Each structure stands twice: as structure tokens, then as C-alpha cells.
A and B are shown apart, each in its own frame.
Chain A
Amino acid sequence: MEDFSKKPLPGLPLRILKWYCNPDFHPDIEGDLIELYEKRKLASGKRLASILVYLDVLFLFRPSIIRPFVLDIAPSLMKHNLRIGWRHIARAKGYSLIHVAGLTLALTVAMLIAIWVRDELSFDRFHRHNDRIYSVKRNVYMGDYIETSSTVTYNIAKGLSAYPEVAEVSTISQKWYLVFQNDQTTFRSWGYFATPEFLDMFSWNLIMGNPSEALHHPDQIVISSDLAEKYFGPEWRQTALGQTIQQNNPPELSGYRVAGIFDRIPENSSLQFDFLLTWQPYEDRNNWLHDWNNSGVQLFALLNEGVQAPELSTRITNMQNDHIEDFRSDLFLQAFNQEHLYNRFVDGKLAGGRIQYIQLFILIAIFLLLIASINYFNLTTARASSRSMEMGVRKAIGAERKHLFAQVYSESFLILLLSSLCALSLIITVLPTFNTITGKNLTLGGLRTGQTLALFAGITAGTALLAGVFPAIKMSLGSTIQTIKGTYHPAQKASKTRQVLVIFQFAVSMVLMVGAITIHRQLKYIQNNQQGSDRDNVVSLRLEGDLYNKYPAFKTELLRSPNITEVTSADNNPLFITSNTHSVQWPGKDPNVQLDFHVIYVDFDFLDVMKMQIIAGRDFDPNLPTDTFNCILNEAAVKVINPEDPLSMNLKFWEKTGKVIGVVKNFQMASLYSPISPTIIQLRPRATNWVLFRTVPGRTQQAVQDLKRVFKTFNPKYPLEYEFLNEQYMSTYRSELVMGKLSSIFSSMALFIAFLGLLGLAVFSNQQRLKEISIRKVMGASILELSILLSRDILVLVALAILIATPVSYLLVTHWLARFNFHTPVNPGLFILAGTFTFLISVGSVGYYIWKVAVINPIDALKQE
């Protein structure tokens, strides 16, 4: 080594080389590197030369050059190691339990997260050409922000397939439902109208029928095996194909010929449907499809091999803009297999989406494993001095360092083995619960058992490395004399590290806890947010089939029930209005400003059912037939139309003109992620398709019974499916709910594991100090003084952890909450709550043992000598 000190050559890469290089080759390879370095230094300078040395050393790491790997420990010694390891584990049952419990929990969580992540990443990848399929999407300019939409105008389909880069284009409609009826039941199923290419481009597993002939004739239907079984019974494989399937929902045909049956769509598909109908009749009867202003289909393009999608994406940008005037809508391509993970767009730019949750959970898994590994490290190194004598004797009779290393490591190995077995059985036990929470159907077995086991083995091996190596290194160090004399105390050497690690554990736990509390508060906030309307006790059902024409009678009949107070209908979910338009006209409108309005068609009594508050003007009046097409605005709409005198303005849109007769307070009409938009409530009962009614609080069940009875007489051909508005509302925040549950589980696990570690440390250090305590007691120390003395060290660490975690978690939660337009405030109480809880947990872990030590009889401890 002394050679390098003269040479200004980076010593580190050469040391790395020496470490891994086969000793036979080492001198001359090192010589080569030095020679090259000198030459390169002359040619191109010192910096580059140093960088190149690093690169060379990196590329030299090859099987033919690295040190041959020899396991030179005799099998009998390995057996011995395992036996001794087992004895140590069995002797210190309490400590072993702490290790195994912590590692088991961490491994279980890590594994659950791993299979969840694997499932998420596999989304939409089962299609043969998934890497070449792209969705056409668009950025719509809404005035002051850009909204990204996955529905586009059908007119571009033809233009798109004209590009030589595009192999095929397929189109599907919005989700559509049919109501099937056989001898036994009626049921509703969802599917799409699809062009024939849709079967070709994607790899839906068509188990019956000819894909090249399906979806060509107006009366053809391709159905899922589930639907086939439901309709045709268990014998569907023999009977279904070519048969006619009866359905009740006009304007669709009443009978369709089954032209194909596909296997159930895998759960990791983002497109889910039970049937496909031929596209042509849908196109024929929907003229709006050919209007460039309308967008209502999903388009997919299969690109040819080797095509640069981003480049093509920039060329198609203006395909729609060239044909429209009053708004701007830029088209772009998104890789189909990325859609599921990268689904959040902010202002026209990709801003993550599910992938962020995935990254977060991977991070949590790593942190949990770290926390559990730290426990192991801390407790083993702390207890190492008690085994110093054993190590000394072994050394004295000829054990080399690697033998000691192997011996200590085999103990870690046993602990890990035990923990992984426990974890495996725990995973099997909790997997169903995990599936319920995440809404997935994950299994350990099935086709990918091998892969799953490999994953598990990988995680365990990684943890074994993490947890086991350092204690083994620490304990195998130290000279023979020191160790045998008992003056080698790796515990003291590692005590700084241990303190840092304890701080880390508790800081991470607290950050997780703050996160979990924030998510919970936000969910509470979402749940309690009743701005401008009241969604409790409101039931919704479809206005379909015979119900549509008999609606007035149906309404009267429902109102006769004592359990139902008001009935109305609408064409949108009043809490989630999706219809919107740019083309609202009124006298005096600035033609240069593009304004976007949300529109909901309603029946009379809408405001009463939703409990919205009129702040100016009046409600729609059933006694005034002239009220049809008249409008009620929300405050946001008044602000942009005419703040001074909104009433009596005439609004024209979608070929109808109506007068503004009232104003309501702003109400929650879209996701909490976005601001409240200008909204128009228009009286247009014949254009509605949802019935909404309010029940008497506490009499919901009776109201539903009444509904069932009435529905049966009015609409016997349809299955009754009703929903509660508040449940529907919460279900739009499903992923937040899942996040909330999981994060609280994970953070409590983190805290629990950290708690276990602290408990172990407290027990150990108190045992060490038994004599000290006893002497102090004899000298007259009070229990309080002793408690403070004993707990001080640990509690200072926890306090430090809280101090560190507070700003970190503050940044994280404000960042997360910022995505919501409406969110719960971040206040000091949050951190005080989490901090106090963390502190209490740690006090709890040390407190009990401190109490125990403090009340001992000093004689017992002192007479042992």
C-alpha cells in the first residue's frame, strides 16, 4: 500500500480491487491499472484518469477475475454452530422472542406489500402486444386549468389509422349495460360497443367463436364465460355458442346471437367488461359521434414495431383542434400498460398516480425491515460482552475470525429461519383480510408459486444480511487476550451507533404515525364535508325501462310511503357532476373568454331532496309549466356570469334557452381534489335518468322495503339496484380509504416493533446496572430518582427522534394534502398527538422494568458476588 502514498492515484478503487480480486492475478492487474492511470493522466488530465480507474475496477468485477469462493468450514463445525446457536436462542427466550416477533411482523408486511406491488405492476401486461398499444387521450383547456380526459372524439379514428406508424386502431364506447333475462332471473351486466379490431389488438382469451367473424353483424354479442354461465347454466360450454340471448334494455335489440365467449377478464386488467356489442349500430344511431365538438369514445392504437410513440404523439396533437373553434383539446398518446400506474394528470402534465402509492409502500416495507433489523443489531451487540469469554476461549484454542463470524452468523440465520417460518404462516392467515382491505384477490399459490417463494426467500435473505452481518463482524473482532480477560466490550463501541439507530427507529415510526393520522383526518373530513347539500338518507336508482314513462306515477306512489319525504330525478350524480359544456351563451358575454360550466338536468323538488339552500330567487315551481329549461345557478356560476343581477338572465346552451330563476349556495359537485366549478341546474325532467329520494332519518330500511314493493309493480323486467348517495360518495375515495387503513396498520406495526426493541434494550441495560442500583439504594436513593436515572438515556433518544420526525412529517403531510382542493388543516395538535403517543409507548416499554429494578431488594443483587 505504501506505493500509493507516493502516487497521487486514488487508493480506494485499488483497495476495492484487492478485496475482490483473485490474489494470483492481483499484482499485475493492479500494475496495469497504475500504468494506464499514469498514461491517461498525461493524455487527458487527472480527473478523467481517476474516473476511468473507478470504471475499470467496476468492469473488472467478473467471475473469471474475482477471488474464488471457498467455503472452508467443515460440515461438522457447521452442525456445531447451529447447535450452539440454538442453545443460545433457547437460553435467552425473552430476547429471542423479541427478535422473532419483530422480524416476523416486518417480514409479513414486506411480503404482503411485495405481492401487492407485483400485482399492481402486472396490470395490463398480459396482452401480447401490450408494449405497442397506446391510448389516445386529450388535454382540454378549461380556461384557467387543463383537464386530461381519456375519452376522445370518434372522428380521429380514421385519420389515425392513416398514419403509416399505426398498425391498427380500435374504438370502444363508454360503459354500457344490458339487462339479461332468462327463465330464472334478470340481471344487469356491463360491457362496451367495440369495433372488430378490439378483439384483435388485445389478447382477450377467446375460448369459443371466431374472432375474425365476431362483432361484424348488428345482432352479434361476445360474452364472458361468467355471463354465459349465469345465463345458460353450467352446461354453457355445449349450449351457449350461436344461441340467442334475451335482453330487456332498449334501444338495444331484445335478442343477440352469441358469436364468441371469452374467458373471464383477469383481475389485473384495467378494462373490465362482461360483453361486447357490434359497433356499427351504435355509430348509426348516434349522430353526435361525428361531431368534432363531442368526445365520448375510447381509442386505442397499435403501433408498428420500433415506432417512437412520443414523436408520433406530438404529431397528432392538433387532429381535433383543426376542426373545432370554441375550445382547445390537444391529443396525445399514453402507453396502455402505463395507464393504471400513471393515472394522475395535473394541468395537462403527468403527475404520478398509483405509482406513488406503490413507491410509498415499498419504502414502508424497507423501513419496517430496517426497524426490525436494527432491533436485532442493537440487542445482539449490547449482549455481546456477555459472550466475550466464550469468544476468547474459542480464539485461544485456534478458532479464526471467520469461524467466529460463522458461529455468530449461524445464530442470526436460525433466528431468521424461525421468523420466516412464522411469517409464512402469518401471511397465509392474514392474506384474506389483506385482500378485503385492498379489494384484491391475491394468492400465494397458483401459477406463480415459485416466483412467490423466490420473492420471499429474497426478502428474507436480504434481511438476514442486513440484520446478521454487523453483529457477527462486531463480535468476531477483538484480540484473544482482551476477549478472554473480558475487557473487550463491543457493546460500548457500538453504543453510539445503537443510539443513532434507536433515534432512527422512533423517528420513522412517528413519521408513519403522523401520516396515518393525517390520512384518517382527511377521510373524516371527506366524510363530514357536506358543503351546500346533504347526502345522508338519500337513495338513488336508475330511471330505466318502464319506469321512465311511468315516472310521475312512480313518484306519486313513492311519496305515499310514510318513510319517504321527497322524490326527484336527475341526469348526474349531484355530488359528482360530469356533464360539462363550453358553449353557454348569454347577452353580454365576452366572446374571447372560454368558460366551462357543469350542467345537471333535474326534476322538481331537486333542491329539497338534496337540501340545497336558495340564497336568491326561487326554486322550480311545479305549478308553472313554463319553468321547464329554466336554470338555477350556484354561486360560482353567478360570479362568472353576472355578479350584480343574475336573476332574469337568459342562458342558451345545447340548443335550449332558459331563464335564471334562482341561486343556490355552492355545494360539493365534484371531487374534493378540484375546486367548485360554475354549475347550472336546469329543469328538464324528461332528460333525467336517475331517481333520487330522501328517506325519513332512521327509517331507511322501511323506505327500501317500500321501494322494492313499488318497483316490482312498475318495472318488473329490471332488477332493482339502488344505492345510498353517501356510500356512493365515499366509494369515489376508495384508494384513500385503502391507504388510510393500510397506513394505520403499518405505522402501528412500526411502532410496535420499535417498542419491542426498546423493551429489550431497557431490560438488558437494567440487568447490567443491578449492582449500581442496589448500591445507590443502600445509600438512600429514592425510587423516583432511580426511575429518572434509568429512563433518562432512552427517553432522551426518543425525544430527539420526535424532534427530528416533526419537520419531516410536516413536509410530507402538507405535500400530500396539497393535492386536495379541500382538506383538513395541518395543526400542531397533530404532531403533539403523535409525539405524545410515541413518547408514551417508549415510557411504557422502559417503565415497567424500571419499576421492577427500582423495587428490588438490594441484598439480592449485592450478595451474588
Chain B
Amino acid sequence: MKKYQLGEFEEVVLLTVGVLYDEAYGVAIKEEIETRLDRKVSVGALQSALRRMEKKGYLTSRGGERNEIRGGRPKRYFQITTLGQRALEYTKETREALWNAIPQAALKLKLD
């Protein structure tokens, strides 16, 4: 049944990693989500989502360059794997299937 486990926040993070393509590291992802979705993201929540998804195989990462502004600490860039991509697609499809299954009347009522 549950082929891909992807929470809502994880999905947002995964998509943002995609959006940032080659520039997806911690701070950049955090800021991207904050500006695009207008929601606060704590470093803790973000990092734990990233590591969790790396463990699940939805993301890979590579070490980046050292940077003065980062106190000489390297960045870690994240990239979506094929599995991650499938998980995203799967989520999107199931959502769409659900959307399509809603009778017109139900949505109209909501709109009134």
C-alpha cells in the first residue's frame, strides 16, 4: 500500500531541493521555503527532514566548498535521486486521483 512514505513537510523540502537544483544547501533551502511558502522553518526541522530523506534514499548529497562567511565550514548540497523523484510523482498522482474523485457538487458547496 504505502509505497513511498513522504510527509507534507518532507514533500515541500524535496520539491524545494528540486527548485534550487544545483544550489540546494541548508540555508538556501530554508530561505527558499520561507519566501515561497511564507512559513517559518527551523534549522532543526529542516536538517532532520533532509537527513531522514537521505537515509530513505530520496536525496543524495555532496560536500561543497569552504566559505569565509561560514567560518570555514563546508556547505552540503542536496540532490533529488531517482527514487526521490518517483516518490514525488507518486504523491502528486495520488493527490490528483483524489481530486478527480471529488464530485463537482461537493466542491461547489464549499465555494459558496
Contacts and interface: CB of A to CB of B under 8 A. Distances in A.
Interface of A: 3-4, 7, 9, 22, 25, 27-36, 38-39, 55-56, 58-65
A416 B44 CA distance: 37
Nearest to B45: A59
Provide the main secondary structure of the chain A interface.
helix
Contacts of B45: 59
Given A28-B73, A29-B26, A34-B71, A59 B42 contact: yes
Contact of B25 (A3, A28, A30, A59): A28
Given A25-B51, A35-B27, A62-B48, 10 more contacts: A3-B73, A22-B51, A25-B47, A27-B74, A28-B25, A32-B43, A36-B30, A38-B69, A55-B42, A60-B44
Contacts of A60: 43-44, 47-48
A353 B20 CA distance: 60
B2 interface: no
Contact of A56 (B44, B67, B74, B75): B44
Contacts of A35: 27, 67, 69-70
Interface in B54-112: 55, 63-64, 67, 69-76
Interface string B22-44: 00011100100000000000111
Given A34-B69, A35-B27, A35-B69, A28 B44 contact: no
A149 B42 CA distance: 50
A61 B44 CA distance: 7
Contacts, number: 79
Q: Give chain B's interface secondary structure class.
A: helix
Contact of A27 (B42, B48, B73): B73
B71 A36 contact: no
Contacts of B64: 28
B47 A65 contact: yes
Contacts of A38: 69
Nearest to A3: B71
Nearest to B53: A64
Contact of A28 (B30, B42, B48, B63): B63
Interface of B: 25-27, 30, 42-45, 47-48, 51-52, 55, 63-64, 67, 69-76
Contacts of A39: 27
Q: Name, among A22, A25, A63, the residue most crowded by chain B CB atoms within 10 Å (CB to CB).
A: A25
B71 A59 contact: no
Contacts of B51: 22, 25, 64-65
A31 B66 CA distance: 9
Q: Report which residue of A28, A36, A39 has the largest number of chain B beta carbons within 10 angstroms of its beta carbon.
A: A28
Nearest to A53: B43
| Top 6 A-B pairs, shortest CB-CB distance | A31-B73, A59-B44, A32-B26, A28-B76, A31-B70, A60-B44
Contacts of B55: 64
Nearest to B43: A56
Contacts of A31: 26, 67, 70-71, 73-75
Given A28-B25, A28-B76, A29-B26, A9 B71 contact: yes
Given A4-B71, A27-B73, A33 B52 contact: no
Contacts of A27: 73-74
5 contacts: A28-B64, A31-B26, A35-B67, A35-B69, A35-B70
Nearest to A64: B48
A28 B78 CA distance: 12
B62 to A, nearest CB: 11
A34 B70 CA distance: 5
Which of A31, A58, A61, A65 is packed against the most chain B CB atoms within 10 Å? A31
Contacts of A9: 71
Contact of B42 (A7, A22, A56, A64): A56
Contacts of B26: 28-29, 31-32
Contacts of B27: 32, 35-36, 39
A57 to B, nearest CB: 8
A22 B1 CA distance: 33
A336 B69 CA distance: 58
A27 B25 CA distance: 13
Contact of B43 (A4, A22, A33): A33
A35 B73 CA distance: 9
A3 B42 contact: no
Given A28-B63, A32-B26, A65 B74 contact: no
Nearest to B70: A31
Given A28-B26, A28-B63, A29-B47, A64 B71 contact: no
A22 B42 CA distance: 18
A61 B26 CA distance: 16
Contacts of B70: 31-32, 34-35
A36 B71 CA distance: 11
B16 to A, nearest CB: 15
A34 B48 CA distance: 18
Contacts of B69: 34-35, 38
